[in-house]
Amino acid sequence: MAGTESRVFHEPIVSLAVIIVLGVGAQWLAWRIRVPSILLLLLAGMAVGPIAAKVLPGGQPILDPDDLLGDLLLPLVSLSVGLILYEGGLTLNAREISEVRSVIRRLVTVGALVTWVLATLAARSLLGLGWQLASLLGAILVVTGPTVIGPLLTHIRPQGKAGPVLRWEGIVIDPIGALLAVLIYEAIHVGGFQDAAGATVRALLMTILVGGGLGAIAAGVLAWLLKRYLIPDSLQNPVSVLLVVLVFVLSGQIQEESGLLAATVMGIVLANQRSADIRHIIEFKENLRVLLISALFVTLGARIDPSDFAYLNWRSLLFVATLIAVIRPAGVWAATTGSGLKRNERIFLACVAPRGIVAAAVASVFAISLEEAGVEEAATLVPYTFAVILGTVAFYGLAAGPIARRLGLATTNPQGILFIGAAPWAREIALALHKRGYRVLMADTNYENTRAARLAGLNAVYGNALLEETIEMLELSGIGRVMAVTPNDEVNALACQRFLRLFDRAAVYRLSAASEGKPDRAGRADMPGRRLFSKDATFGAIASRLGSGWVVKVTTLSDEFSFEDFRTLYGPRAVVLFTIAEDGKLTVMADQRGTDPQPGQKVVALVNPDELLMMA
């Protein structure tokens, strides 16, 4: 019976199903319980790999990647890493990092050098590795984890420059760390550092020339084809993947391991050119990244040999602790001294550096190659790297939030509002809140709306808030609520659904977009988000009232002037939008609201000045 079960588990179609089901399932579960997905993906892979091999009869794993993929394992892992780095390059918009460009440059040069040297020394002294493998492991661990840092920052929403610095450092450091690891690998491959100086310099120059050149050329070719509408919308994503794969393989054939740089450069150049529209490609990259990361981490986690658990001892724990407590702070302090960052921002930078998919994949690729070349102890690269990934993701995932709050970079009760939609009436309401000290952020796909919001002194982002790339651009520090106020019920519902993973359900609101003659669907139970304001306060109704002379007015209530007096003065048609308590707490008026505003509170309402004239 056990043999029958083993044969079933090792059917290729079953193994592929296990990878897909566990990968996507772990991503979904991580979203539900708000933990870094990489942690669950690794644990899922280990559960069906080395752990299953230890506990199941017969000592056979449920998933054996080497048996499933054979000689295809190494090229598939390499190609997947290249596609992930291409996706990372597509998110690197040079205009968005103008204020922190120098800090990022020093982090990925000075900081990376300090990290590599100290990590090499730690690997040599604490793990007992030879100088060559210690140097390679140190180079691999220079990279951080953008696929882990992004969700972490989205959850914490730190204030100031620390968030953008961490986000862009995680993207830029990947190809740099991978290139450094490639150079160390080349030195080991040709026989040692003493005999490899010339070969290493040649490899560096060829990698930059071939990888960077081919990546830039491929981006230019794709932009040229898109600009001249030579590729239909339905084929833009496949053609972009075709070119990435082509340039990755071609570059690697000319200069070994230069494909990683080529893929990254292609993404960066394509993201920063202005001649062609690449929105279809950017939208596609998120789904591609999720699928690749899911499959890669489950596969790499399952590939860990049961004997590798012997390396997860006090030495590896001490090595991970040294990376967190000594090496990362030293690298950040060396790179940010005199940078102009505040002390609390520098401390926070020093407290966030999880390792992720690139470190795992690069370690696996080089370990396989060095094992085939007969390098002793090469197999230790994988368990030590995975120990660092698990340790750093677990530590930073649990500690980064409390540290940010302790440093004053995040708040437990943010009062700001994100408006999804920046129509003229929404700008009036946002401006009234902004003038009273509340942080307001607006996002809209209409450039004129975002431009008008910026001219009014409001923070506004031009982009589709349903896309991950736009969400990553939003500086959500100090934002505690989301209000979807577009003229489309479906867009409002989708926006609420999108932001429910970042905000509590009680803090996500949607405005009814119903107009005369059309059904009002905002009150339906299957529509995500709380209904905003009152039943008759629809997009069209509010826009019409403000367009006909109504104004947003802030009124302070007192024992002498109660809410009943307010209603008497401004009439029953006045729309109460918010209340402000004496301690500054802002409350959004939803259709499910309870008690009326009380004396001492301020009422932010949409009122008709003509009511006063008629009463007079």
Note the pLDDT of residue 412. 64
- Extract the tokens encoding 348: 């926070």
Averaged over 393-408, what is the pLDDT?
85
CB 522 within 8 A of CB 539: no
Note the pLDDT of residue 499. 87
> What's the one-letter identity of residue 20?
I
Lowest mean pLDDT among 97-101, 209-213, 269-273: 97-101
420 and 389 in a common domain = no
401 and 423 in a common domain = no
- Domain-embedded: residue 569: yes
| Distance from C-alpha of 185 to C-alpha of 199, rounded to nearest angstrom | 11
Averaged over 310-316, what is the pLDDT?
83
Q: Which of 386, 406, 426 is the last residue of a domain?
A: 406
> What's the one-letter identity of residue 136?
L
Share of the chain above pLDDT 90, in %: 17
pLDDT class of 249 with cuts at 50, 70, 90: very high
358 and 428 in a common domain = no
307 and 285 in a common domain = yes
- Please list, in sequence order, all residues whose beta carbon lies within 8 angstroms of the beta carbon of residue 596, skipping any fewer than 6 positions away: 563
- What is the separation of C-alpha 609 from the centre of its chain, rounded to a whole number of angstroms? 46
Highest mean pLDDT among 263-267, 318-322, 566-570: 318-322
What confidence tens digit (pLDDT) does each residue in 17-70 have? 999 999 989 888 887 776 767 778 888 988 898 888 888 877 788 888 888 888
Greater confidence (285 vs 328) lies with 328
368 and 475 in a common domain = no
Sign of the C-alpha dihedral computed for residues 205, 207, 210 and 211 taken in this order: negative
| Distance from C-alpha of 253 to C-alpha of 561, rounded to nearest angstrom | 80
For residue 230, how many other CB atoms are within 10 A of its CB? 10
**CA distances in angstroms from 30 to 397, 427, 454, 529, listed in the order given:** 12, 36, 36, 22
What confidence tens digit (pLDDT) does each residue in 59-87 have? 788 888 888 888 888 788 778 878 887 87
Q: Which of 340, 372, 406 is the last residue of a domain?
A: 406
Note the pLDDT of residue 517. 44
363 and 217 in a common domain = yes
> What's the one-letter identity of residue 486?
T
- Domain-embedded: residue 9: yes
Note the pLDDT of residue 195. 54
Greater confidence (501 vs 6) lies with 501
- Domain-embedded: residue 34: yes
> What's the one-letter identity of residue 313?
N
- Domain-embedded: residue 411: no
Whether residue 614 is predicted with pLDDT greater than 70 in this model: the reply is no
Note the pLDDT of residue 1. 45
Q: What is the CATH number of the domain that holds 457?
A: 3.40.50.720
Averaged over 277-281, what is the pLDDT?
71
Greater confidence (215 vs 92) lies with 215
Note the pLDDT of residue 96. 59
Whether residue 602 is predicted with pLDDT greater than 60 in this model: the reply is yes
Helix (H, G, I), strand (E, B) or coil at 40: helix
Highest mean pLDDT among 275-284, 314-323, 381-390: 314-323
592 and 574 in a common domain = yes
Whether residue 516 is predicted with pLDDT greater than 50 in this model: the reply is no
pLDDT class of 246 with cuts at 50, 70, 90: very high
558 and 490 in a common domain = yes
Structural domains of the chain, count:
2
Report which DSSP code applies to 597. Answer: P
Q: What is the CATH number of the domain that holds 314?
A: 1.20.1530.20
Note the pLDDT of residue 154. 67
For residue 7, how many other CB atoms are within 10 A of its CB? 11
459 and 374 in a common domain = no
Note the pLDDT of residue 320. 94
Note the pLDDT of residue 364. 79
- Extract the tokens encoding 322: 């040294």
Q: Domain span at residue 40?
A: 2-406
- What is the separation of C-alpha 133 from the centre of its chain, rounded to a whole number of angstroms? 31
Greater confidence (279 vs 586) lies with 586
Share of the chain above pLDDT 70, in %: 87
355 and 459 in a common domain = no
- Please list, in sequence order, all residues whose beta carbon lies within 8 angstroms of the beta carbon of residue 595, skipping any fewer than 6 positions away: none
- Please list, in sequence order, all residues whose beta carbon lies within 8 angstroms of the beta carbon of residue 545, skipping any fewer than 6 positions away: 575, 606, 608
8 and 139 in a common domain = yes
Q: At what angle do helices 2-9 and 12-33 cross, to 10 degrees?
A: 80
Note the pLDDT of residue 559. 86
Whether residue 98 is predicted with pLDDT greater than 70 in this model: the reply is no
Q: Which of 348, 374, 406 is the last residue of a domain?
A: 406
| Distance from C-alpha of 284 to C-alpha of 113, rounded to nearest angstrom | 34
- Cross-strand bridge partners of residue 444: 462
Whether residue 616 is predicted with pLDDT greater than 50 in this model: the reply is no
| Distance from C-alpha of 529 to C-alpha of 123, rounded to nearest angstrom | 50
What confidence tens digit (pLDDT) does each residue in 451-490 have? 999 999 999 988 888 876 777 778 777 888 899 999 888 8
| Distance from C-alpha of 489 to C-alpha of 493, rounded to nearest angstrom | 6
- What is the separation of C-alpha 193 from the centre of its chain, rounded to a whole number of angstroms? 37
| Distance from C-alpha of 399 to C-alpha of 130, rounded to nearest angstrom | 33
- Domain-embedded: residue 457: yes
388 and 280 in a common domain = yes
The DSSP bridge pattern shows strands 530-531 and 586-588 to be unpaired
- Domain-embedded: residue 465: yes
Whether residue 111 is predicted with pLDDT greater than 70 in this model: the reply is yes
Note the pLDDT of residue 613. 45
- Cross-strand bridge partners of residue 258: none
- Domain-embedded: residue 599: yes
Averaged over 93-110, what is the pLDDT?
78
- Domain-embedded: residue 268: yes
Lowest mean pLDDT among 142-146, 333-337, 394-398, 480-484: 142-146
Average pLDDT, the chain: 82
What confidence tens digit (pLDDT) does each residue in 527-565 have? 778 888 877 788 888 888 888 888 888 888 888 888 888
Averaged over 192-207, what is the pLDDT?
66
Whether residue 9 is predicted with pLDDT greater than 60 in this model: the reply is no
**CA distances in angstroms from 11 to 8, 77, 163, listed in the order given:** 5, 21, 45
